[in-house]
Amino acid sequence: MHLDDLDTPALLIDEPRMTRAIARMQSHIDALGVRLRPHVKTSKCVDVALRQRAAGGCGITVSTLKEAEEFFAAGFDDIVYAVGIAPQRLPQAFALMRRGCALQIVVDSLAAAERVAAAARHEALAPRVLIEVDVDGHRAGVPPESPLLLDIARTLHAAGALAGVMTHCGASYECRDQAALVAMAEQERSRCVRAAERLRAAGLPCEVVSVGSTPTAHAARSLPGVTEVRAGVYVFYDLVMAGIGVCAPEDIALSVLTTVIGHQPAKGWVLVDAGWMAMSRDRGTLSQPHDQGYGAVCDEAGALLPGWIVAQANQEHGIVEHRDGAAAAGDVVARFPIGMRLRVLPNHACATAAQHARYAVVEGDAVRHLWPRFGGW
Amino acid sequence: MHLDDLDTPALLIDEPRMTRAIARMQSHIDALGVRLRPHVKTSKCVDVALRQRAAGGCGITVSTLKEAEEFFAAGFDDIVYAVGIAPQRLPQAFALMRRGCALQIVVDSLAAAERVAAAARHEALAPRVLIEVDVDGHRAGVPPESPLLLDIARTLHAAGALAGVMTHCGASYECRDQAALVAMAEQERSRCVRAAERLRAAGLPCEVVSVGSTPTAHAARSLPGVTEVRAGVYVFYDLVMAGIGVCAPEDIALSVLTTVIGHQPAKGWVLVDAGWMAMSRDRGTLSQPHDQGYGAVCDEAGALLPGWIVAQANQEHGIVEHRDGAAAAGDVVARFPIGMRLRVLPNHACATAAQHARYAVVEGDAVRHLWPRFGGW
């Protein structure tokens, strides 16, 4: 099968780029002497996760119980569900555990810990629970020095359910240089390890110390006290990661194949059939120094066309413009004729991939595989 | 089935609100003496389109050929595909026509018209083609006074393929008061009708004069020269439409049911399990006077909680805040306990619905129907 055989818009994985990305992260985390637990929310694709496992990944991370169920059915039985569990979802999680899935769940409040402990006693099950630690004020978690940390830990331990601590350093996405990333990685590590030390000092177990985000995972220089690193978007990279300096635009493995369907020559606009339905509404580069609109435009072979971005998006229309305006665009009708195909690199791989049900895995202009991905909850 | 039986996040349609919305638009367009052709890209749901047809809708509008195929299979055989067609997609469109679908396609360039005319001759088929007219400088289309309009029309007519003209007044989304909306509706009508008159003056046929957007459809006071109105989002409404003044927030039929999973009490944050995966990344109210974040928060029964919005969103986490900050939020742990359920009204119904595979159609706390929706291309 050939690129020409695909209808547009179509979601592409550049297979050599993905292979390099997987190897790069795995070798870095291997060298630090800890386990890498890939976050499969980015791909939601068993075939991609199998590549990560073959490269050395230990277990997976998920963002929904639907992912846990789908990947468990595909043979992945060591899973961290890294979002604080809604109490109503406990029966579903417990059912997975009873079927043999080593599923770890997450809480960050006494109320949730009490619900888990009560359910564990009621069902005579000892779930493995991680306490989420807040290392950056970014989202969820309890501060490592908080008295609440020990209250939650004791509540879980009394039910035989305390497995350890975990964190996600979302603030790393706001770093703008390598020194800041290295410092943020050390902040993530030291604060999460501090939480673990407080549990142990109180006589509580803390087997797992799980940290991670793609930027901090790449930036970490040493990880004493950490048992595993979770990271997701590194498998494809994206323009947000390139904007942070984690990768080059040429490393991005994910793109959307699109077709030119019209022009507004006086404005220098090229209309394509990749709108927000194909790209997502993610504008993650808006707050970065180099705003990429809804994506950076490449030729059909994947070579960047510097300056060209999807500047606007409607549901099924993208408007490609040169970032320097109509004068810089030149004769768009001649340069981008009707029917021409382009690739667009996404701001945020997780969001763009979520708009599609299938990956076309390409090497050059050959389509090597068609891999399904799932959605939903 | 009851609301409590749904796992979260879940996409809800408030059935009485949808029924009122469908009746409101239908009676308005009926009173203007033209046909209403609902745009089914909003719902991508056969059951919703059947309600629109039962209320008096004539045919449907689609944004992808996948929609055309799905709805044709469900018995809808009068379809306008309202996005300029990529030449590579012509065989797929022609196959639908051969199977008996009265499918109208759209072009806005001589190059595309020539490709359609050549394909029509080659396949001995007379497709019905609409020329897209630019009435607002917003996106696609040829200006009504442009010489190109007649060149395209003659090219299509020579192949027996000229059905008429169409436009979409996307600039109506930037209107901020009723007077501006009424003026924009008249601009859309008059410029599209002007294009039709130019075709007829040149001795060319122009059976169809198709206009539409939800804001201009509601604002139109009379539509001489127009044969049909296309509109989509009115079926559910959303916060962007409420911000324009087209509806009240209490008219919005679409929402996402979500569960409280955590808090950051000092910040006044409530964490819920509806992140951008459930809401979409659409920030359509960002440019409006009243920014609604990623959605406006209601109680489980659907009553608005004034001031509360989903201020931030990660993939599976939403952060609910009071728009006046932590002091106004008060004791969020007491007010929004772990496990509590809320509904969130979306910025943009088309984008939020696209994140889900199913609608739960509710009346009060009863789930009346579970309706599938599809995605893809």
**Looking at beta carbons, which residues of chain B come within 8 Å of A283?**
281, 283
Mean pLDDT confidence for A57-78: 98
pLDDT the model gives residue A28: 98
Virtual CA dihedral for B135, B136, B138, B143, nearest 10 degrees? 40
User: Which one of A9, A84, A338 has the shortest CB-CB distance to B271?
Assistant: A84
Q: Which of B184, B205, B236 is the last residue of a domain?
A: B236
Per-residue confidence at A279, pLDDT binned at 50, 70, 90?
very high
Domain membership of residue B71 as a residue range: 32-236
* % residues pLDDT > 70 (chain A): 100
Q: Is residue A343 part of a domain?
A: yes
Distances (CA, A) of B283 to A173, A282, B75, B192: 20, 9, 35, 30
Enumerate residues 6+ apart whose C-beta is below 8 A from A311: A293, A294, A319, A320, A321, A323
Given a cut of 50, the residues of chain B with pLDDT beneath it are none
Tokens 């090229």 locate to: A270
Compute the distance between CA of residue B377 and CA of residue B374 in angstroms, rounded to an integer: 10
* B147 contact A CB<8A: no
Query: Chain B residue with minimal CA distance to A278?
Result: B376
Mean pLDDT confidence for A44-68: 98
Q: Is residue B98 part of a domain?
A: yes
User: Is A63–B87 a contact, with Cβ atoms under 8 angstroms apart?
Assistant: no
Residue B110: its H or E element: helix B110-123
* B276 Cα to chain A: minimum distance (Å): 8
A64 and A187 belong to one structural domain: yes
Query: Chain B residue with minimal CA distance to A261?
Result: B86
Compute the distance between CA of residue B195 and CA of residue B202 in angstroms, rounded to an integer: 11
Q: Is residue B242 part of a domain?
A: no
Amino acid at A282: D
Q: Is residue A21 part of a domain?
A: no
Query: Chain B residue with minimal CA distance to A91?
Result: B7
Q: Which of B236, B271, B296 is the last residue of a domain?
A: B236
pLDDT the model gives residue A227: 98
B187 and B306 belong to one structural domain: no
CATH of the domain at B77: 3.20.20.10
User: Is B276–A7 a contact, with Cβ atoms under 8 angstroms apart?
Assistant: no
**Looking at beta carbons, which residues of chain B come within 8 Å of A280?**
280-281
User: Which one of A88, A259, A264 has the shortest CB-CB distance to B259?
Assistant: A88
pTM of the full structure: 0.98
B103 and B226 belong to one structural domain: yes
CATH of the domain at B282: 2.40.37.20
Are residues A188 and A133 in contact, defined by beta-carbon separation less than 8 angstroms?
no
CB contacts < 8 A (A, B): 147
Q: What is the CA radius of gyration of chain B?
A: 22
User: Is A377–B314 a contact, with Cβ atoms under 8 angstroms apart?
Assistant: no
Question: Could you say which residues from 231 to 260 on chain B have a Cβ atom under 8 Å away from some Cβ of chain A?
Answer: 259-260
Helix and strand numbers, DSSP H then E, in chain A: 13, 17
A200 and A88 belong to one structural domain: yes
B203 and B306 belong to one structural domain: no
**Looking at beta carbons, which residues of chain A come within 8 Å of B89?**
7
* A143 contact B CB<8A: no
**Looking at beta carbons, which residues of chain A come within 8 Å of B109?**
262-263, 338
* % residues pLDDT > 70 (chain B): 100
Question: pLDDT digits over B197-221, tens only?
Answer: 999 999 999 999 999 999 999 999 9
* B112 contact A CB<8A: yes
Mean pLDDT across chain A: 97
pLDDT the model gives residue A194: 98
Question: pLDDT digits over B156-213, tens only?
Answer: 999 999 999 999 999 999 998 999 999 999 999 999 999 999 999 999 999 999 999 9
Query: Token digits for A31?
Result: 């060298």
Distances (CA, A) of B116 to A238, A271, B111: 37, 18, 9
* A160 contact B CB<8A: no
**Looking at beta carbons, which residues of chain A come within 8 Å of B277?**
63, 354
pLDDT the model gives residue B131: 98
Q: How many CB atoms lie within 10 A of CB A73?
A: 11
**Looking at beta carbons, which residues of chain B come within 8 Å of A8?**
86, 88, 377
B301 and B210 belong to one structural domain: no
Compute the distance between CA of residue A256 and CA of residue A351 in angstroms, rounded to an integer: 12
Question: Could you say which residues from 175 to 194 on chain A have a Cβ atom under 8 Å away from some Cβ of chain B?
Answer: none
Number of domains present in the structure of chain B = 2
Question: Could you say which residues from 7 to 46 on chain B have a Cβ atom under 8 Å away from some Cβ of chain A?
Answer: 7-10, 41
pLDDT the model gives residue B123: 93
pLDDT the model gives residue A271: 98
Q: Which of B170, B202, B236 is the last residue of a domain?
A: B236
Q: Is residue B243 part of a domain?
A: no
Q: Is residue A340 part of a domain?
A: yes
Compute the distance between CA of residue B275 and CA of residue A348 in angstroms, rounded to an integer: 15
pLDDT the model gives residue B124: 95
* A87 contact B CB<8A: yes
Question: pLDDT digits over A140-184, tens only?
Answer: 999 999 999 999 999 999 999 999 999 999 999 999 899 999 999
φ, ψ at B135 (rounded to 5°): -105, -5
Query: Chain A residue with minimal CA distance to B266?
Result: A137
**Looking at beta carbons, which residues of chain B come within 8 Å of A117?**
none
pLDDT the model gives residue B196: 98
Q: 3-state DSSP helix/strand/coil percent for chain A, to nearest 5?
A: 40, 25, 35
Compute the distance between CA of residue B144 and CA of residue B146 in angstroms, rounded to an integer: 6
B289 and B333 belong to one structural domain: yes
ipTM value? 0.97
pLDDT the model gives residue A267: 97
B137 and B177 belong to one structural domain: yes
Enumerate residues 6+ apart whose C-beta is below 8 A from A87: A112, A115, A119, B338, B339
pLDDT the model gives residue B128: 98
3-state DSSP assignment of residue A287: coil
Q: Is residue B159 part of a domain?
A: yes
Question: pLDDT digits over A109-138, tens only?
Answer: 999 999 999 999 999 999 999 999 999 999
* B83 contact A CB<8A: yes
pLDDT the model gives residue A254: 98
Closest listed residue to residue B80, CA positions, set B118, B41, B51, B45:
B41
Query: Chain A residue with minimal CA distance to B171?
Result: A314
User: Which one of A87, A88, A261 has the shortest CB-CB distance to B86?
Assistant: A261
Question: pLDDT digits over A194-245, tens only?
Answer: 999 999 999 999 999 999 999 999 999 999 999 999 999 999 999 999 999 9
B75 and B214 belong to one structural domain: yes
A69 and A196 belong to one structural domain: yes
Beta bridge partners, A128, equal A104
pLDDT the model gives residue B29: 98
User: Is A377–B8 a contact, with Cβ atoms under 8 angstroms apart?
Assistant: yes
pLDDT the model gives residue B346: 98
User: Is A271–B317 a contact, with Cβ atoms under 8 angstroms apart?
Assistant: no
Q: Is residue A274 part of a domain?
A: yes
B99 and B193 belong to one structural domain: yes
Chain B interface, best mutation among A61, A316, A336, by max B CB count within 10 A: A316
* A130 contact B CB<8A: no
Closest listed residue to residue A250, CA positions, set A211, A305, A314, A195:
A305
* B376 contact A CB<8A: yes
**Looking at beta carbons, which residues of chain A come within 8 Å of B350?**
315
A296 and A152 belong to one structural domain: no
